Amino acid sequence: MNAGPIPVIAIDGPSASGKGTVAKAVARALGFHLLDSGALYRLVALAALNAELPWNDEPGLARLALGLQAGFRGDDIMLENQIVTENIRSEACSEGASIVGAVGGVRRALLRRQRAFRQIPGLVADGRDMGTVVFPDADLKIYLTASVEVRAERRYKQLKQKGIAATLTALLKDLRERDERDMLRSAAPLKPSPEAHILDTTALTAEAAADRVLAVYRGLRNDAI
Ligand code: DC
């Protein structure tokens, strides 16, 4: 266990693996801060859509990311002082986030902003490259995964609850495409770091997955004493 002053738990994994729910529950249980790094990529995508910037304008996207006026207030996520918590969850922003996430200049522009979330008493960071790039010295690295079918079903239920129309077939196709883009890109591709604990949540609820992460983390802390 690293002896750094501010502990970090990195939780990485593919879309709809339950990272967000697990990260939130772990942060709440420990009283830690939470970094939803996907929200930053989603905000860049929304800013690009608002500015009608084409997805292939890489320098333009990097500039947007550098000057991004993002805010996190409680559960609210802001872009230029507007609450966009729901807007950034749209399929257009999900797709856009995956596209802008493949741009090296965007990733570099967001690096310092993400590291600034590391504050006392600790941080739970959720994303794709938390353990590999942003917090390589994280105290605990978790790679959360689940079969693509189960992830599509979870997304389907979430959308249905919100009254948003979707089909399982379309969601499956979409998740497969996003996985491929996130895993095959050259800039910080999604992959477990060698020291990550792999947690397959195909047959686990988010609560059970969070309990496992907490148990491993508490175990590490006890070992360090
Ligand atoms: O975690 P999420 O589904 O909100 O992330 C949306 C997209 O943002 C994801 O498809 C890829 C990108 N992303 C990334 O490239 N790196 C991160 N650390 C987090 C998200």
Q: What is the pLDDT of residues 112-139, one digit of tens each?
A: 999 999 999 999 999 999 999 999 999 9
Q: How is residue 173 written in tokens?
A: 């196709």
Rounded Cα distance between 104 and 118, Å, is 22
| pLDDT band per the 50, 70, 90 thresholds, residue 4 | low
Q: Is 178 in the pocket of ligand 1 (CB under 6 A)?
A: yes
Cβ of 139 closer than 6 Å to ligand 1, yes or no, is no
Q: If you take atom 4 of ligand 1, which residue's CA is the nearest one?
A: 38
Residues 133 and 47 occupy one common structural domain: no
Of 86, 105, 120, the one marking the end of a domain is 120
Q: For residue 7, give the H/E element and its range.
A: none
Domain with residue 160: its CATH number is 3.40.50.300
Same domain (yes/no): 76, 132: no
Ligand 1 atom closest to the CA of 129, numbered from 1: 18
Provide mean pLDDT across the span 151-161.
Answer: 90
In 3D, which of 22, 85, 36, 57 has the Cα closest to residue 216?
A: 22
Tell me whether residue 220 is in a domain: yes
pTM of this structure:
0.93
In a domain, 2, yes or no: no
Please tell me whether residue 180 adopts helix, strand or coil conformation: helix
Which of 21, 43, 98 is the best mutation target for the ligand 1 pocket, counting ligand atoms within 8 Å of the beta carbon and taking the most? 98
The two tokens of residue 45 are: 């995508």
Determine, yes or no, domain membership for 80: yes
Which residues on adjacent β-strands are paired with residue 12? 127, 143
Tokens of 138: 């994280």
Measured from the Cα of 134, ligand 1's closest atom is 18
**Both 98 and 202 in a single domain?**
no
- Spatial distance between the Cα atoms of 189 and 13, rounded to a whole number of angstroms: 11
Tell whether 112 and 125 lie within a shared domain: no
Which atom of ligand 1 has the smallest separation from the CA of 19?
1
Q: Is the CB of 15 under 6 A from ligand 1?
A: yes
- For the sheet containing 82-83, what is the strand order? 70-73, 76-79, 82-83
Residue ending a domain, choose from 52, 85, 120:
120
CA of 13 to the centre of ligand 1 (A): 9
* E strand or H helix that includes residue 10: strand 8-12
With tokens 């596209």, the residue in question is 99
In a domain, 107, yes or no: yes
Do both 125 and 217 map to the same domain? Answer: yes
pLDDT tens sequence across 168-213: 999 999 999 989 988 898 888 888 999 999 999 999 999 999 999 9
User: How many other β-carbons are positioned within 10 Å of the β-carbon of residue 174?
Assistant: 19
Choosing from 99, 120, 141, the residue where a domain stops is 120
| Whether 129 and 225 share a structural domain | yes
Considering the domain boundaries, does residue 208 fall inside one? yes
Q: How many CA atoms lie within 13 A of 78 on its CB side?
A: 9
pLDDT tens digits, residue range 79-116? Answer: 999 999 999 988 899 889 999 999 999 999 999 999 99
User: What distance, in Å, lies between the first and last C-alpha atoms of the chain?
Assistant: 10
Ligand 1 pocket test, candidate residues 17, 35, 37, most atoms within 8 A of CB: 37
- Total count of domains within the chain: 2
* Residue 14 CB–ligand 1 contact under 6 Å: no
Residue 157 lies inside a defined structural domain of this protein: yes
d(CA 201, CA 213): 12
Whole-angstrom distance, CA of residue 99 vs CA of residue 2: 34
The answer to whether residue 1 sits within a structural domain is: no
Q: Residue 136, Cβ neighbours under 10 Å: how many?
A: 14
Same domain, 51 and 140: no
Give me the domain span that covers residue 205.
Answer: 7-32+121-225
Q: Give the residue whose CA is nearest to atom 16 of ligand 1.
A: 128
Q: 222 C-alpha vs ligand 1 centroid, how far in Å?
A: 32
How far is CA 39 from its chain centroid? 7
